[in-house]
Structure 1
Amino acid sequence: MRYAIVTTTYNDEAGIGNYLENIMMQTMLPVELVIADGGSKDNTCKIINKYSEEFADKIQIKLCVAGRLNIAEGFNLAIKSSSEEIIGITGIGNHYPKDYFEKLLVGMLKNNCEVSYGIIRGEGLNNFQKVYRQAFLIRDNQCKIPCNRGVLIKKSVFQKIGYFYENFTYAGEDAEFFELAQRSGISMMCIDKAEFVWETPGNYTEYAKQTKNYTIAKLQMKETKKIVFNTITKIFLIILGILSICINPFISLLLLFLCGCVFLYHSKIKGIYSLMLYINYKVLTIIYTIRYAEYLKKKYKVTR
């Protein structure tokens, strides 16, 4: 099966070489690799051109340069610039096992689906990254919907529902697109044993920034009434919990402990620290929802 791979870059001179070599190691090579650069000021483009010349007999590398681009604009440009019907969407900084795209291609053919994707295996050696993986990178949750870090998609899907939405403030283009694909009846399949590696946030500051960006994306994507209702409900439950602890500390804390145990069992989150980080995430989303409520305004909402 023929396919192309696309990605975006911006000042990625430190990682672009490893990424290109990673793609060259795939057991089923793409016919072309299309890279949209978002206005790099470093040596990213020079490195890409060097690899393009070096591997010209192995793969065609197209570099698209069109000034400052956000991620969605870059992906859309790369996809439109590709001549292939099947597109692999990737991200620099991830690592793809050599048979990753072969598994996605075989899975797409076997299941006769329009989108095939794998799951993320978190990477990172410090304690925070370990806790993060155990809290958020749970297989069952990942299988629900793809992300743009490692997915194979037929170009006809874009013709049916459109391309990535380009007016997100920070992030959200992949979540919005694949949720739309799901609602539109696009056939998508999570391929068993297809995993790629993503380096998780290395500390609390990086995690908090990621959470802020994701929260703002949700404010732009979701219906305002639902967001307001859910936020008020969560705040009410927190206040109710605090009041219960003040009135009857022993019973309330015992109930909270039992609820935590049940949640840990059903959510498959491993360990008390991961549970605490997950709870922190829920609290942060409430704080960021209130702090960045401006993004609930109509002018920021996704319109297709």
Structure 2
Amino acid sequence: MRISLITTVKNEENSIRAFLESILQQSRPPDEFIIVDGGSTDKTVEILQEYTPLFKRKNIIYKIIVKKGANIAKGRNIAISNSSGDIIACTDAGCVLSKAWLEEIARSFEQDPSVDIVSGWYEPLATSKFEEIVAEITYPKLKKVLRNPSKFLPSSRSIAFKKKCWKKVGGYPEWLYTAEDTLYDILLKRAGCKFVFNPNAVVYWKVRENLRKLFRQYYNYAKGDGEANLFFWRYFLVCYFPIIAILISLIYWRTNNVSPLLLGIIYLTGLISYLFGEVIYRGGSVRKILVNLPLALIIEITILVARTIGYTYGFLKRFKYKKTTKELTRL
């Protein structure tokens, strides 16, 4: 079984070495490793080139393709188009792979040749209290996923699939800047491809270290979901329904002389209830959130605002497309 590992990069000079080292240390190395750079302006490409002899020493075919302006989806499609393996393993720069990641991926295909897609797992790489709380609020927990792994939509930071499946659905949707891997998963499922979940194929993913980067992350995620018309009712209930409720309550307050303090208490209670609901849903630690409640509330508000603005912009933007894509017509 020949496995091609692919990834895309852009301006990753601060994290690329740890990523490359984790690939070199794989217990089951890839047969080839193809990287598409989307136009880095830092030393990313220079660092990638430094590693050429190290991959050659491991007998791994190592290709660096520079395609300025390529988004993540296009970069992945370019990498896969230049691959020779029947199995495509995909991850993201900025991550660190566990030593047995690719070995576990390969084992899943070997144990059941009818499997088309192996969904790997990812764990947060948190180095501060802020990052720990972000992880508790936003990262799904393994015990939660294991209850119903068939519903899990794997991130392309930890996934592998047969190349024929990629061809069957037309590749990653290049018209999306984010949420491309979520839509790709949905299209694979609709095409009848067989998924299997391997919790031992673990990738460690760096948590955003401040509110500005966290806001940008969830703004981009929500924008992609809006463009792809994904999870509308989820966003409506989480983002838009509270705004409607607040506006109605403010009108009621103005006409019935309700205490502003009472309204504030109601809003805060609602926000705290939603926060703990999110943590419990993802299988996180309620105790850890309770101890760090002020910080957790600030993080939750930042994410909610980012999602609301991002999804609204993305949903409106999808109407600007001159030609309806196959993906849009099927959703």
The verdict on a shared fold, with TM-score over 0.5 as the criterion, is yes
Question: What secondary structure is seen at the aligned counterpart in 2 of 1:56?
Answer: helix
Q: Which residue of 1 aligns with 2:166?
A: 158
The 1-side partners of 2:222 and 2:86 are apart by 33
Question: What secondary structure is seen at the aligned counterpart in 2 of 1:95?
Answer: strand
1:98 equivalent to 2:99? Answer yes
Question: What secondary structure is seen at the aligned counterpart in 1 of 2:321?
Answer: helix
Amino acid in the other structure paired with 2:183 = E
Offset, 1:173: 1.4
The 2-side partners of 1:7 and 1:261 are apart by 35
Q: Which residue of 2 aligns with 1:303?
A: 325
Identify which of 125, 149, 154 aligns with 1:146.
154
Offset, 1:255: 7.8
The 2-side partners of 1:228 and 1:44 are apart by 36
Q: Does the 8 Å contact 2:4/2:83 carry over to 1? A: yes
Q: Which residue of 1 aligns with 2:83?
A: 82
The 2-side partners of 1:33 and 1:6 are apart by 6
Q: Which residue of 2 aligns with 1:194?
A: 201
The 2-side partners of 1:215 and 1:23 are apart by 31
1:167 equivalent to 2:175? Answer yes
In the superposition, the TM-score normalised over structure 2's length comes to: 0.78
1:2 equivalent to 2:2? Answer yes
Question: What secondary structure is seen at the aligned counterpart in 2 of 1:190?
Answer: strand
Offset, 1:184: 2.5
Amino acid in the other structure paired with 1:115 = I
1:48 equivalent to 2:48? Answer yes
Offset, 1:34: 0.8
With over 3 angstroms needed to count, the CA separation of the structure-2 counterparts of 1:101 and 1:233, relative to structure 1, is: same
Q: Which residue of 2 aligns with 1:65?
A: 66
- How does 1:107-146 map onto structure 2 within 5 Å? 107-111=108-112, 112-139=114-141, 140=144, 144-146=152-154
Question: What secondary structure is seen at the aligned counterpart in 2 of 1:202?
Answer: coil
Cα distance per residue 1:209-263 (max 9 Å; x no partner): 111111111110017986896565443344456769x579499689857777666
Q: Does the 8 Å contact 1:219/1:227 carry over to 2? A: no
Cα distance per residue 1:78-128 (max 9 Å; x no partner): 111000000111111100111011112112332442111222211122221
The 2-side partners of 1:288 and 1:201 are apart by 18
With over 3 angstroms needed to count, the CA separation of the structure-2 counterparts of 1:130 and 1:39, relative to structure 1, is: same
Deviates more, 1:208-217 or 1:103-112: 103-112
The 2-side partners of 1:122 and 1:225 are apart by 27
With over 3 angstroms needed to count, the CA separation of the structure-2 counterparts of 1:36 and 1:130, relative to structure 1, is: same
The 1-side partners of 2:15 and 2:278 are apart by 39
Count of residue pairs the alignment pairs up: 303
Q: Which consecutive unaligned segments of at least 5 residues does structure 2 have?
A: 327-331
- How does 1:202-213 map onto structure 2 within 5 Å? 202-213=209-220
1:268 equivalent to 2:283? Answer yes
In the superposition, the TM-score normalised over structure 1's length comes to: 0.84
Question: What secondary structure is seen at the aligned counterpart in 1 of 2:198?
Answer: strand
1:220 equivalent to 2:227? Answer yes
Question: What secondary structure is seen at the aligned counterpart in 1 of 2:96?
Answer: coil
Offset, 1:297: 1.7
Amino acid in the other structure paired with 2:30 = P
- How does 1:169-184 map onto structure 2 within 5 Å? 170-184=177-191
Offset, 1:60: 1.1
With over 3 angstroms needed to count, the CA separation of the structure-2 counterparts of 1:240 and 1:8, relative to structure 1, is: same
Question: What secondary structure is seen at the aligned counterpart in 2 of 1:13?
Answer: coil
The 1-side partners of 2:236 and 2:98 are apart by 43
Cα distance per residue 1:142-194 (max 9 Å; x no partner): 951111112111101112111111122x4221111112222332211221233
Offset, 1:66: 3.3
Cα distance per residue 1:13-33 (max 9 Å; x no partner): 333333222111101111111
Deviates more, 1:210-219 or 1:3-12: 3-12
Q: Does the 8 Å contact 1:13/1:42 carry over to 2? A: yes
Q: Which residue of 1 aligns with 2:329?
A: none
RMSD of the TM alignment (CA)? 3.4
Q: Which consecutive unaligned segments of at least 5 residues does structure 1 have?
A: none
Identify which of 282, 286, 289 aligns with 2:308.
286
The 1-side partners of 2:13 and 2:302 are apart by 34
The 2-side partners of 1:159 and 1:199 are apart by 31
Q: Does the 8 Å contact 1:221/1:302 carry over to 2? A: no
With over 3 angstroms needed to count, the CA separation of the structure-2 counterparts of 1:232 and 1:25, relative to structure 1, is: closer
Question: What secondary structure is seen at the aligned counterpart in 2 of 1:61?
Answer: strand
With over 3 angstroms needed to count, the CA separation of the structure-2 counterparts of 1:301 and 1:208, relative to structure 1, is: farther
Deviates more, 1:198-207 or 1:8-17: 8-17
